[in-house]
Amino acid sequence: MELSPEDAKLVTLARASRARNGAAEGAAVRDLDGRTYAASTVALESLRVAALDLAVAMAVSSGAKGLEGAAVVTDTASVDTTAVRDLAGSGVSVFVADAGGTVGAVQES
Protein backbone atom coordinates (compact mmCIF):
# COMPACT_ATOMS: atom_id res chain seq x y z
CA MET A 1 0.00 0.00 0.00
CA GLU A 2 1.40 3.38 -1.01
CA LEU A 3 1.01 5.99 1.73
CA SER A 4 1.25 9.73 1.36
CA PRO A 5 4.38 11.20 3.01
CA GLU A 6 2.21 12.56 5.84
CA ASP A 7 0.62 9.17 6.53
CA ALA A 8 3.98 7.38 6.28
CA LYS A 9 5.25 9.81 8.93
CA LEU A 10 2.43 8.72 11.25
CA VAL A 11 3.44 5.07 10.85
CA THR A 12 7.09 5.97 11.51
CA LEU A 13 6.19 7.91 14.66
CA ALA A 14 3.98 5.07 15.91
CA ARG A 15 6.74 2.52 15.30
CA ALA A 16 9.30 4.66 17.12
CA SER A 17 7.04 5.20 20.12
CA ARG A 18 6.32 1.49 20.42
CA ALA A 19 9.99 0.52 20.06
CA ARG A 20 11.27 3.22 22.43
CA ASN A 21 9.03 2.00 25.24
CA GLY A 22 8.87 -1.70 24.41
CA ALA A 23 5.10 -1.33 24.46
CA ALA A 24 2.40 -3.54 23.00
CA GLU A 25 1.28 -0.75 20.66
CA GLY A 26 2.43 2.59 19.34
CA ALA A 27 0.17 5.19 17.77
CA ALA A 28 0.33 8.61 16.18
CA VAL A 29 -2.32 11.09 15.09
CA ARG A 30 -2.24 14.27 12.99
CA ASP A 31 -4.55 17.15 13.88
CA LEU A 32 -6.21 19.63 11.52
CA ASP A 33 -3.25 22.00 11.85
CA GLY A 34 -0.77 19.28 10.83
CA ARG A 35 0.64 18.77 14.33
CA THR A 36 1.43 15.18 15.28
CA TYR A 37 1.15 13.36 18.58
CA ALA A 38 2.70 9.96 19.28
CA ALA A 39 2.10 7.63 22.20
CA SER A 40 2.54 4.06 23.33
CA THR A 41 0.36 1.76 25.37
CA VAL A 42 0.36 2.47 29.11
CA ALA A 43 0.16 -0.71 31.15
CA LEU A 44 0.54 0.13 34.82
CA GLU A 45 -1.05 -1.78 37.65
CA SER A 46 -3.46 1.09 38.29
CA LEU A 47 -3.79 2.49 34.75
CA ARG A 48 -4.28 0.97 31.30
CA VAL A 49 -4.55 3.17 28.23
CA ALA A 50 -4.41 2.07 24.60
CA ALA A 51 -1.82 3.87 22.48
CA LEU A 52 -4.38 5.35 20.07
CA ASP A 53 -6.56 6.60 22.93
CA LEU A 54 -3.54 8.27 24.53
CA ALA A 55 -2.44 9.91 21.27
CA VAL A 56 -5.96 11.32 20.82
CA ALA A 57 -5.98 12.52 24.44
CA MET A 58 -2.66 14.30 23.88
CA ALA A 59 -4.11 16.03 20.81
CA VAL A 60 -7.20 17.11 22.72
CA SER A 61 -5.15 18.40 25.66
CA SER A 62 -3.10 20.46 23.19
CA GLY A 63 -6.21 22.10 21.77
CA ALA A 64 -6.82 20.02 18.62
CA LYS A 65 -10.30 20.47 17.21
CA GLY A 66 -10.15 17.45 14.90
CA LEU A 67 -7.90 14.87 13.24
CA GLU A 68 -6.78 14.25 9.67
CA GLY A 69 -5.27 10.80 10.14
CA ALA A 70 -3.98 8.19 12.53
CA ALA A 71 -1.73 5.12 12.60
CA VAL A 72 -1.31 2.26 15.04
CA VAL A 73 1.52 -0.27 15.13
CA THR A 74 0.27 -3.43 16.76
CA ASP A 75 0.28 -7.22 16.56
CA THR A 76 -3.53 -7.34 16.38
CA ALA A 77 -5.61 -7.20 13.21
CA SER A 78 -7.84 -4.30 14.22
CA VAL A 79 -8.00 -1.49 16.75
CA ASP A 80 -10.71 0.43 18.59
CA THR A 81 -11.13 3.75 16.75
CA THR A 82 -13.81 5.18 19.05
CA ALA A 83 -11.60 8.00 20.39
CA VAL A 84 -10.66 9.06 16.85
CA ARG A 85 -14.34 9.14 15.88
CA ASP A 86 -15.22 11.10 19.04
CA LEU A 87 -12.77 13.87 18.11
CA ALA A 88 -12.82 13.77 14.32
CA GLY A 89 -16.13 12.25 13.33
CA SER A 90 -16.40 9.43 10.84
CA GLY A 91 -14.27 8.91 7.78
CA VAL A 92 -10.78 9.45 9.20
CA SER A 93 -8.36 6.74 8.03
CA VAL A 94 -6.58 4.77 10.74
CA PHE A 95 -3.65 2.83 9.31
CA VAL A 96 -2.94 -0.42 11.16
CA ALA A 97 0.64 -1.58 10.67
CA ASP A 98 2.87 -4.36 11.94
CA ALA A 99 6.16 -3.87 13.79
CA GLY A 100 7.99 -3.55 10.48
CA GLY A 101 5.75 -0.70 9.40
CA THR A 102 3.80 -2.64 6.79
CA VAL A 103 0.20 -1.43 6.72
CA GLY A 104 -2.10 -4.46 6.72
CA ALA A 105 -5.42 -2.66 7.11
CA VAL A 106 -7.03 0.74 6.94
CA GLN A 107 -9.91 1.27 9.31
CA GLU A 108 -12.28 4.21 9.09
CA SER A 109 -13.31 6.01 12.25
Structural domain that includes position 93: 5-108
- Contacts with 45 (C-beta within 8 Å, 6 or more apart), sequence order: none
Max distance between CA atoms of the chain, in angstroms, equals 40
CB hemisphere CA count around 29 (13 angstroms): 28
Cα dist from 100 to 15, 36, 62, 74, 88, whole Å: 8, 20, 29, 10, 27
Q: How confident is the model at residue 78 (pLDDT cuts 50, 70, 90)?
A: confident
pLDDT at 77 over 90: no
pLDDT at 105 over 90: yes
For residue 109, what pLDDT is reported? 87
Number of domains, the chain = 1
For residue 19, what pLDDT is reported? 96
Q: What is the mean pLDDT of the chain?
A: 96
Closest CA to 9 of 34, 44, 33: 34
CATH at residue 64:
3.40.140.10
Rounded distance, CA 84 to CA 66, Å? 9
Q: What is the pLDDT of residues 8-54, one digit of tens each?
A: 999 999 999 999 999 999 999 999 999 999 999 999 999 999 999 99
pLDDT at 1 over 80: no
For the segment 65-93, the average pLDDT, to the nearest whole number, is 94
